[in-house]
Amino acid sequence: MPPPRSSKLRYMSDHATPLKHLSSASDSDLLPEIAGLIVEALNLDVAPGSIDPDKPLYGEGLGLDSIDILEIALVVSKRYGVQLRADSAENGGIFGSLRRLVAYIGAHRTR
Amino acid sequence: MLAYRRGQPIRAGQFLADVAQGVSALGSASHVLNVCADRYLFAVGFAACLLSGKVSLLPPTHTAEVIRQLSEFAPDVVCLTDAPDCDIDLPHVALTLDATMGRVATPAVPQIDAARAAAFVFTSGSTGTPVPHRKTWSSLTADVREAPARLGLGARPCAIVATVPPQHMYGLENSILVALLNGHALCAERPFYPADIAAVLAGVPRPRVLVSTPVHLRTLMGSGVELPPLDLVISATAPLAVQLALEVEARCDCELLEIYGTTETGQIASRRPTAGAEWRLWPGVVLSKRGEETWVLGGHVEEPKRLYDVLELTGKDTFMLQGRIADLVNIAGKRSSLAYLNHQLNSIPGVLDGAFFHADEPDGERADVARVGACAVAPGLDATGLMAQLRQRIDPVFLPRPLLLVERLPRNSTGKLLQAALRALATPQPKTTRVK
């Protein structure tokens, strides 16, 4: 998939410095972290803090489309070891909002 | 075996019984927009149209504006759907399998008139109205009948798993028609996430074929999910980087073949990117140059069609792909043009002037998913309202990033808008000036 739009884009895994260890982070710490991850991965022109955690991430909300969702899934699998599945995504509506995505990752992360 | 659905095999007898149910469900409408997400149900609906003299309509997208235009093109069009919450603004015909569990005892292969119109496939055009391309049954199927020879899909019945929808030419040909015509089995699921792709593949017997795109293959490789052994991977919609092709072949332990085709022509060439960059044409297909333009005719291409890529002809039946023409926009396999997008933007009440641009340099590393941006002069509108209006008109992948509201567009002294000037508006100005 597609890393978005510009060659400026880097994956989190490309960073030279080690990532902060996060296994003890609670959802409230995860929320800004994942908001930042989304903005960086998709090269969005918004501040991570300005994403409404209760609005849909796709369509009318943040305006993401299926290409973006695949990209987020890839970043999430690399960073947290969570492989998203369509049935889990639908049943939980995890892209229904940033808060739901964060809760799902918090519950299923392996790293 | 004709299909696999949720791991269960479906034989021709059940398929034909389901098709008969589809025929009666569709009633008297003569045009059908088949939006079934379940690939088996799509095949049932498509075959029901073929057997009852109906024409399938395949538009490039399902925005409200395109649906309105479709119903102008064919006022009796109905929407065949398997989604209870389908919000397409047309009369609905529901297709579910719960009502269709019969079986034809002694199935006979239906005969279909080669010259009849099977479908209208639409391109977005440049004037705001989708352009219909009439597909006879023979023009739709002649290239697919070459699949055994050109793609090695012949000797043994394969199970075909596709990550692309059947509603566009590539998916229709390579996940529906190739199965129905050549004795392979289609898989009803359309897996999206890498873990889903791996699970659907593992749920069907070998030989397994994966029909996909550079976008999906890149994610699949990047995710690190474990894949069962595959026997062939097919990619189309955008050129695949050689490095990714090598990785796919190594991880899947099989060949990766690329198909080159267009909505207008169907598939006309193939190559194995790890063996060379040159494309080889389908039998009978001939390319010719008209000035800078490349045209195609022959084989299954019944009328001359223009190609919207820059091609270098290297031999009687070979060519190299040099890139896209400047106006073309191709994002993740969806095709549009700057002219079409500009028309939509400038049709919005309150927009005085507006233009789309390629947000990245053309032919960059991520050319297959490089987005478009837009500038607009619209004093009474804000970006959110303008975006909401655009969403009604154009496919989400073409929504501009960024969307800039400006006082005037950067036209040059002759009134022309240069892509570079538009792109510069979206790029932060460098802080230092280069000194010679």
pLDDT in tens, A46-59: 889 999 999 888 87
Indicate if the pLDDT at residue A34 is higher than 50. Answer: yes
Helix axes A27-42, A98-108, angle to 10 degrees: 110
H-helix or E-strand containing B421? helix B419-426
Determine contact: A24 vs chain B, CB below 8 A. no
Per-chain mean pLDDT for chain B: 89
CA distance A90 to B351: 37
Q: How far is A28 from chain B (nearest CA, A)?
A: 26
Rg (CA), chain A: 13
**Nearest Cα to Cα of residue B166 among B134, B119, B130, B100:** B119
Are the C-beta atoms of A1 and A74 separated by less than 8 Å?
A: yes
Q: What's the DSSP call for residue B172? A: I
pLDDT at B328: 82
Which value does ipTM take for this structure? 0.77
Chain B residues within 8 Å of chain A (Cβ atoms): 191-196, 199, 215-216, 218-219, 222-225, 331-332, 359-360, 364-366, 368-371, 387-388, 391, 396-397, 399, 401-402
Question: In this prediction, what percent of chain B has a pLDDT beyond 90?
Answer: 64
Nearest by CB: B360 against A5, A59, A86: A5
Closest CA to B35 of B103, B91, B76: B91
| Stretch among A1-10, A90-99, B4-13, B423-432 having the lowest mean pLDDT | A1-10
Residue of chain A whose Cα is closest to the Cα of B364? A7
pLDDT of B247 strictly over 50? yes
Residue A10's pLDDT band (cuts 50, 70, 90): very low
SS3 sequence of B283-343: CCCEEEEECCEEEEEECCEEEEEEECEEEEEEECCEEEEEEECCCEEEECCEEEEHHHHHH
Cβ count near B360 (within 10 Å) = 21
Q: Is the pLDDT of residue A23 over 90?
A: no
Q: Who contacts B106 (Cβ-Cβ below 8 Å, separation ≥6)?
A: B13
Q: How far apart (Å, rounded) are the C-alpha atoms in residues B366 and B369?
A: 6
| Cβ atoms of residues B234 and B211 within 8 Å | yes
Interface size A-B, in CB pairs within 8 Å, comes to 90
Is residue B227 within 8 Å of residue B254, measured between CB atoms? no
Nearest alpha carbon to residue B171 among B261, B253, B231: B261
- Judge contact between B345 and B355, C-beta under 8 A: yes
CB-based burial label for A90 (10 Å; 0-12, 13-18, 19+): exposed
Q: How would you class B369 by CB atoms within 10 Å of its CB: exposed for 0-12, middle for 13-18, buried for 19 or more? A: buried
Residue A80 to residues A27, A76, B199: CA-CA distances in angstroms?
13, 6, 20
Strands B3-5, B185-187: pairing is parallel
- Residue A67 to residue B332, Cβ atoms within 8 A: yes
- Within 8 A by CB and 6+ apart from B433, the residues are none
Average pLDDT over residues B249-273: 94
Q: What is the pLDDT of residue A66?
A: 83
Spatial CB neighbours of B250, under 8 Å, sequence gap ≥ 6? none
> What's the rounded Cα separation, in Å, for the pair B391 and A63?
9
Contact B32, B55 (CB under 8 A): yes
A4 reaches B (C-beta below 8 A): yes
Q: Specify the residue for token string 């619209």.
A: B378
The C-alpha atoms of residue B272 and residue B258 are separated, in whole angstroms, by 6
Residue B64 has pLDDT above 60, yes or no: yes
Distance of CA B362 to the CA centre of its chain: 21
d(CA A6, CA B402): 12
Portion 60-79 of A in contact with B at CB < 8 A:
60, 63, 65-67, 70-71, 73-74, 77-78
CB contact under 8 A, B222 and A65: no
Assess whether pLDDT exceeds 80 at residue B407.
yes
Identify the closest residue of chain A to B226 by CA–CA distance: A83
The Cα B301–Cα B140 span in angstroms is 9
Is the torsion defined by CA of A69, B40, B221, B237 positive or negative?
A: negative
User: Looking at chain A, which residue has its C-alpha nearest residue B223?
Assistant: A74
Nearest CA in chain A to B404: A45
Which segment of A5-9, B200-204, B321-325, B412-416 scores lowest on mean pLDDT? Answer: A5-9
Taking 90 as the threshold, does the pLDDT of residue A89 lie above it? no
- The count of other CB atoms within 10 Å of the CB of residue B52 is 18
The pLDDT assigned to B102 comes to 65
Q: Look at residue B66 in the predicted model and tell me its pLDDT.
A: 93
Report the alpha-carbon distance of residue B194 to residue B208 in Å, rounded. Answer: 16
Q: Does A85 touch chain B (CB under 8 A)?
A: yes
**CB A95 within 8 Å of CB A56:** yes
Q: Do B369 and A5 touch (CB under 8 A)?
A: yes
* Tokens 């409230």, located at residue: A28
Mean pLDDT value of segment B323-331 = 79
CB B214 within 8 A of CB B366: no
Mean pLDDT over A10-21 rounds to: 37
**Contact (CB<8Å) B219/A73:** yes
A95 Cβ contact partners less than 8 Å away, ≥ 6 residues apart? A56, A57, A58, A64, A69, A89, A101
- Beta partners for residue B139, in sequence order: none
Cβ–Cβ of B369/A2 closer than 8 Å? yes
Chain A residues inside the 8 Å CB shell of B399: 63, 65
**Which of chain B's residues have a Cβ under 8 Å away from the Cβ of A78?**
222-224
What percent of chain A lies above the pLDDT cut of 90? Answer: 34
Position with higher pLDDT, A78 vs B101: A78
- B219 CB neighbours in chain A (<8 A) are 1-2, 70-71, 73-74
Across the interface, whether the CB atoms of A2 and B222 are under 8 A apart is answered no
In this structure, what token pair is assigned to residue A34? 């994942």
- The C-alpha angle with vertex B229 and arms to B268 and A3, in degrees rounded to 5, equals 60
**B267-299 pLDDT, tens digit each:** 999 999 999 999 999 989 999 999 989 999 999
Q: Is the pLDDT of residue A14 over 70?
A: no
Q: In this model, does residue A102 exceed pLDDT 90?
A: yes
What does the pLDDT average to over B129-140?
91
Interface test with B, best of A1, A80, A88, A101 (most B CBs within 10 A): A1
Q: B23-37 pLDDT, tens per residue?
A: 999 999 999 999 999
pLDDT in tens, B221-236: 999 999 999 999 999 9
- 3-state SS of B71-127 is HHHCCCCEEEECCCCCCCCCCEEECCCCCCCCCCCCCCCCCCCCCCEEEEEEECCCC
With 90 as the cut, is the pLDDT of residue B164 above it?
yes
Tell me what the mean pLDDT of segment A54-81 comes to.
86
Please enumerate, as own/partner, the contacts of A60-63 that have beta carbons within 8 Å and a separation of 24 or more.
A60/B388, A60/B391, A61/A97, A62/A38, A63/B387, A63/B396, A63/B399
Q: Which residue of B has its CA nearest to A71?
A: B219
Are residues B360 and A6, on separate chains, in Cβ contact within 8 Å? yes
Candidates B196, B223, B368; nearest CB to A2: B368
pLDDT tens string B344-402 = 999 999 999 999 998 876 555 555 667 899 999 999 999 989 999 999 999 888 999 88
Alpha carbons B185 and B63: distance in angstroms, whole number: 31
Q: What is the pLDDT of residue B287?
A: 96
